[in-house]
Chains A and B, each alone.
Chain A
Amino acid sequence: MDTFIQLTVDGLTLGSVYALIALGYTLVYGVLKLLNFAHGDVFMVGTFIGFGMLQLLGGTSNPLVPVWLLLVLVTFAAMAGCAVLGVVIERFAYRPLRDAPRIAPLISALGVSFFLANSMQLLFGAEPRNYNTFALSGGALYLKGVDIGSVRVPLLRIITISSAFALMVVLWFLVNRTRTGKAMRATSFDREAAAMMGIDIDRVIVFTFILGSALAGAAGVMFALRVPTNVAVGFIAGLKGFTAAVIGGIGSIPGAMAGGLILGFAEAYTQGYISTKWSDLFVFSILIGFMIFRPQGLLGRADIRKV
């Protein structure tokens, strides 16, 4: 039972990060019908921006501000930085290709992904960067926590999971209760009709990218607080987030959240109960099967092609 609780907590932690990344994929796919392969690398840049901000604020051994403020500032810096990066990418790599055949922005996205990952390596080297969260207040974030049964859930995990959920709630609010959110939903439903209704498509798309990339930045900080980051994490994180978005139904926001959590749990449980060696294989085989029998994912709409 203990193992189950522990694995569930693990799954939740992993899943929250995946869900945030998946949301970025899904938001962009909804409005642009584009699989933004560069999203994972935006996430990676977010981890580095957070690292830089952390060093600026004195590092985890000697922070210049209280712990909670440190975390908030670092997250905010990463979110802002990634939002800017997302907007730049959209403006220069995707907007010129908006009316091109579908394959064009996809290839451009691949190029951007490659470009970002290698530029970061060029500038910052291949060494891993450790936030060293353990050093904050003598390891308090790791050692103090809430007890469930005989399993102790450390503060850090609680913070990670709750902030991820908080962000998702904010996102839900933005998408469903604001005008721009409504415009976003309209654009994702039918871009031409939305334009004809007077919606400024460009602004909506920029807004979407800001949202998605900011979430990736936040995910980056949450990720890097627990594990060391390096320039190569973008690829794997992107792949996992992308997988989560696809499971949940790409284009569907609750789908992305669900997909992220499902993927997190699937990983944790297969690693814990079946085998660590074959967990990847297991997950990918299930995915391929899933895609074949239900390509629209759990909550997505089946694609209706107009003739």
Chain B
Amino acid sequence: MKRAIVLAVVIVVAAGATAAALAKPSATGSASAAQAVSCKSTLTIPFVTPLTGGAGFIGTEQATWAKYAVKTLPSHYGLKIKLVFGDTPVEQGPAPALALAQKYIADKSVVAILGPSTSGNAGASTKVYTQAGLVQLSPSATHTELTIGTPAVPYIGTPGFFRNVPGDYIQGPTDARFMINKLHVKKVVIIDFQEPYSVGLADIVESTLKKAGVSVTRLSAPNTTTDYSAYVTKVPNDADVVFFPTQKPPDIQTFGQQLLEQGKKAKLFGGDGSNDPAHFTIAGSYVSNFAPDITSIPADAAIVAGWQKDNPGKVVGSFGPPSYGAVQILLEAIKKACIQGHGSIQQRHDVIRNMKKVRIPNFILGGTFRFSTKTNDPLNAKFYIFQIQSNGKYKLVG
């Protein structure tokens, strides 16, 4: 009897607490509310990217370029910037990204977010950041629906999310049209890896190819696959191209070797995730990337040299330079907000408002950078197609 009474009391208390919680119109939002941050103090930019786990090599490469940018650029703008890293391994889903979001929102010195680098985390945390007024600039989240909605999938982004690389809705059709117009394909095999990047890209390429009457075989490999032999076996002998949008260059290299091993004639086509001259060297293959090789842009020579001095023995990859560019864009926007606020950032939102005003000539990825007026993507972004030559060099072909 006593137990029952106690049980009842506890449940009533619990219900009461719940009712009280439900009835409260708003929780004490506090700390992050409008408090001007002086531009003379050290501002913090967190970089939310996977530094460990299966996609860790992406984040570690981006980190080196972001560090170099934060080392060399802020003085030009008269700013003091501290770069901190938030590790979001892909194996744990969005939970770390959301926890980190709360952490950075609570930190008053944070004025902008670099990243999130993965499309999954970008989609999961953008609402929270934008509601808190923090701008997010991702150097690698290319999922289409982060900046525009499509008939198939609704828009999942927010006005505070930007990216300085073009989305899959540009890469997909570019790749597909290259295959149709330049390679005259009749039969294509597309493989996805059951994670957001490859599935999104594969879907777009598949639909574009199908509309043009190309016969498409779609295969799907679990993300943990290491041995693609059975997939190679499924590639028809008369297939022209295998589209392999992996983010792990050693995998596409292995796949290509296994294609040769089984005597298949199909050419390999990789997305921007496979763009890695150090690891992917199969002659005759194609790779698409959102920037021409920056080592061939004269204006970037000094930057590349400086970066290589800080990172001896490392090779310039494809994930790194956009991170440098992203830091530059953020600094521009922050500077503009500082000027607008007369030496301090009155509200975090001010940085978001100034993003579209950013213009950077001689941008690291080539040309002048500005955002499109219609979306939060770069204006006139395009993808470039490269073919790997027999000496392993990447040659621009489209």
Contact = CB atoms under 8 A, between A and B. Distances in A.
Contact of A6 (B194, B226, B262): B262
| Residue from A128, A229, A236 having most chain B Cβ neighbours under 10 A | A128
Interface-centre pick from A226, A228, A276, A280 (highest chain B CB count, 10 A): A276
B219 A276 contact: yes
Interface string A115-151: 0000001000111111000100001001100000001
B97 to A, nearest CB: 17
Given A227-B254, A228-B251, A228-B254, A13 B229 contact: yes
A130 B278 CA distance: 11
A127 B56 CA distance: 7
B288 to A, nearest CB: 21
A143 B260 contact: yes
B260 A139 contact: yes
A130 B248 CA distance: 11
Nearest to A280: B222
Interface in A229-270: 229-230, 232-233, 235-236, 267-268
A121 B52 contact: yes
Nearest to A233: B226
A271 B261 CA distance: 19
B227 A226 contact: yes
A263 to B, nearest CB: 13
Interface stretch (B124-132, B156-164, B230-238, B295-303): B230-238
The number of chain A residues touching the other chain, given as a range, is 35 or more
Contacts of A143: 260-261
Given A127-B56, A134-B257, A232 B227 contact: no
Given A126-B57, A128-B248, A277 B220 contact: yes
Interface string A185-202: 000000000000000000
B8 interface: no
Contact of A14 (B54, B227, B257): B227
Q: Which has the most chain A C-beta neighbours within 10 Å: B194, B261, B262?
A: B261
Contacts of B222: 280
Most buried by A among B91, B227, B253, B260: B227
A10 interface: yes
Interface in B232-274: 233-234, 248, 250-251, 253-254, 257, 260-263
A7 interface: yes
A267 B54 contact: no
Which of A127, A129, A223, A235 counts the most B-chain CB atoms under 10 A from its CB?
A127
A223 B57 CA distance: 21
Contacts of B231: 271, 276
Contact of B54 (A13, A126, A226, A276): A126
A267 B230 contact: yes
B344 interface: no
B398 interface: no
B263 A152 contact: yes
Q: Which of A154, A227, A232, A280 has the most CB of B within 10 A?
A: A227
Given A228-B250, A232-B224, A271-B234, A127 B57 contact: yes
B187 interface: no
Contact of B227 (A128, A134, A227): A227
Contacts of A276: 219-221, 230-231, 234
A292 to B, nearest CB: 24
A272 interface: yes
A226 B230 contact: no
B356 interface: no
Chain A interface, >50% SS class? helix
Nearest to B236: A3
B233 to A, nearest CB: 5
B226 A130 contact: no
Contacts of B229: 10, 13-14, 268
Contacts of A271: 230-231, 234
A126 B230 contact: no
Interface string B148-192: 000000000000000000000000000000000000000000000
Contacts of B221: 276
A48 B188 CA distance: 36
Contacts of A275: 220
B306 interface: no
A228 B226 contact: yes
B53 to A, nearest CB: 6
A198 B25 CA distance: 76
A143 to B, nearest CB: 7
B233 A272 contact: yes
A125 B57 contact: yes
A6 B233 contact: yes
A128 to B, nearest CB: 4
B260 A128 contact: no
Nearest to B237: A2
A126 B53 contact: yes
Contacts of A235: 224
Interface string A1-25: 0010011001001100000000000
Contacts of B227: 13-14, 223, 226-227
Given A127-B57, A271-B231, 13 more contacts: A7-B230, A126-B55, A127-B56, A127-B60, A128-B250, A130-B250, A130-B253, A223-B226, A227-B251, A233-B226, A268-B230, A276-B234, A280-B222
Interface of B: 51-57, 60, 91, 194, 219-222, 224, 226-231, 233-234, 248, 250-251, 253-254, 257, 260-263, 279
